[in-house]
Structure 1
């Protein structure tokens, strides 16, 4: 990643404008919780945004990243609500998986209004992949095998049963002509990195996740992506080579937004600071490069707009979950 000296004039101006603004608050010990083990999408979100914030001098000290796995993000959510409610230095990585679990009541007693929603840093399209040694070459071939022997193909993902990684497979399976979504075997792990490890160990036959968390395993030759769940092929030489589900006759799209929430008791000054920090970083040349290198697509939602977006996501996910029998 380029250092600040190599940034374009517009990015330098934006960074200086932010750091020179008269904010009533600045974090002394900035911290980002990744609600999963290292190697997954939430870990990627914390570490990449933390590095970029520091490179741009938006934060004065390096971001501490804490991996707090458990309950598909529920342990981190409960920790923030119960123990870190007034922490002004803290932000937490979130995604479509977070709103999915809130929509389905997977975080017992938790609601979206128990935290403050900061903003997005882009969208990450879903993928379905197999190990490098698999003889399955296309998505239709994979689902053909599922139809022939539903229990013989297990999908591994980094979200809980009924979570976003699970829903993506069910959306694709439904589009592939599998009427009983409950027949699709899905095994949940704590993060995409662990799910890929299980795939490579031969314990499962397919992986469902996002392009950003799969990219490193594709680069190392361990994963073979069967399909990206996007309307059209992703831009860029590294990503354009991966076929979409649509072009293989399976009309399935699954985009995972990535962003952050913060403690509910965070001061308004701190909240405004973090909203502007993420917004400014998102607009920077540095972050555009991170997005391009990791197959992320633009998605700009900040502050109150992001809060409404989250509310709408929860509502639509509840509707989908009822359709496939995950909730009543």
Structure 2
């Protein structure tokens, strides 16, 4: 007996849907998130906080394991992803403006942004310049005046490599403040923001350059005093008391997006799954709470839009690096 036409169409559609569902990608078992730094920094925060939300929203079948792989300002993790993990559709790698900065400056030899898949950004973490609570410097102009007198008089500590995004933020502020001989400004590179702040709080280095999410713990303990946040306007909530560099007469901005790339050669279905997962995370109440409690500002791009953004940012940072004299 033949089925009536509407029922037959529904049956065919159901069969087709079942077949496509069987072919669609879903992660199996443990998912890895590679943080290209030691525990305590921004990339580590990105992996752990996003991993928690992935688990809470049941976007992964098991746990998300954060693996720390420090070195070369993210270069060790990038090289590992490119050379050893091609096709691995269960690996996420934390990235940020620090990543594009290193790519822009040719710090990952023989590698470029096209060698990985850029799957999404989930917020922007704004840069800060901070000092120990008992520091003589009471505001950003006072710190910049010291640099004008002697560029070597203030030593900065950050979690990026020399010439990386943390270093660039100081140079951007100094350039806007009218400091000359920018390459002479002393910058000490540490494996992560936590280690850099420990050096500042301990009195070994004068000032910290990093991001607001990194600084929060030391701010809460009263050990670190933020002189300026490098945002267009003051951040909301508990960070609203921190003045911007702009309102202190120094037009310096330092947004640091937080997102992920994945290895090359993953299937279209896998890429679509993880791009969709990033969209789901960003819209969730759980992620909104993470953003609110950690000073992250709205910033979200997926798929081709994010790929285009990364490509353009690399061009822009290369130009800036040349203007400041970091690269030829």
Fold in common (TM above 0.5): yes
| Cα separation, 2, equivalents of 1:308 and 1:67 | 28
| Cα separation, 1, equivalents of 2:100 and 2:84 | 21
In structure 2, what is the equivalent of residue 226 of structure 1?
A: 227
In structure 2, what is the equivalent of residue 317 of structure 1?
A: 317
| Cα separation, 2, equivalents of 1:261 and 1:243 | 33
What stretches of structure 1 of length at least 5 have no aligned partner?
1-19
Instruction: String of CA shifts for 1:61-99, please: whole Å, max 9, x gaps.
Output: 111000100011000011111111121100000000000
**TM superposition shift of 1:57:** 1.1
- 3-state secondary structure, aligned to 1:45: helix
Q: Indicate whether 1:302 and 2:302 are aligned.
A: yes
| Cα separation, 2, equivalents of 1:22 and 1:47 | 30
| Cα separation, 2, equivalents of 1:156 and 1:21 | 51
| Cα separation, 2, equivalents of 1:24 and 1:231 | 40
Structure with the greater alpha carbon radius of gyration: 2
**TM superposition shift of 1:21:** 11
In structure 2, what is the equivalent of residue 147 of structure 1?
A: 148
**TM superposition shift of 1:326:** 1.2
CA contact (8 A) 1:27 1:88 kept: no
CA contact (8 A) 2:175 2:182 kept: yes
- 3-state secondary structure, aligned to 2:239: coil
| Cα separation, 1, equivalents of 2:202 and 2:175 | 28
CA contact (8 A) 1:228 1:244 kept: yes
Instruction: String of CA shifts for 1:264-321, please: whole Å, max 9, x gaps.
Output: 1222221111111111001101101110111111111111110000001000001101
* Two-structure CA RMSD over aligned residues (Å): 1.4
CA contact (8 A) 2:151 2:182 kept: no
In structure 1, what is the equivalent of residue 289 of structure 2?
A: 289
Change (3 A) 1:189 1:152: same
In structure 1, what is the equivalent of residue 109 of structure 2?
A: 108
**TM superposition shift of 1:28:** 2.1
In structure 2, what is the equivalent of residue 4 of structure 1?
A: none
> What does residue range 162-173 of structure 1 map to in structure 2 within 5 Å?
162-173=163-174
- 3-state secondary structure, aligned to 2:117: strand
CA contact (8 A) 1:40 1:193 kept: yes
In structure 2, what is the equivalent of residue 196 of structure 1?
A: 197
| Cα separation, 1, equivalents of 2:278 and 2:90 | 14
TM-score, length basis structure 1 = 0.91
- 3-state secondary structure, aligned to 1:299: strand
In structure 1, what is the equivalent of residue 132 of structure 2?
A: 131
TM-score, length basis structure 2 = 0.91
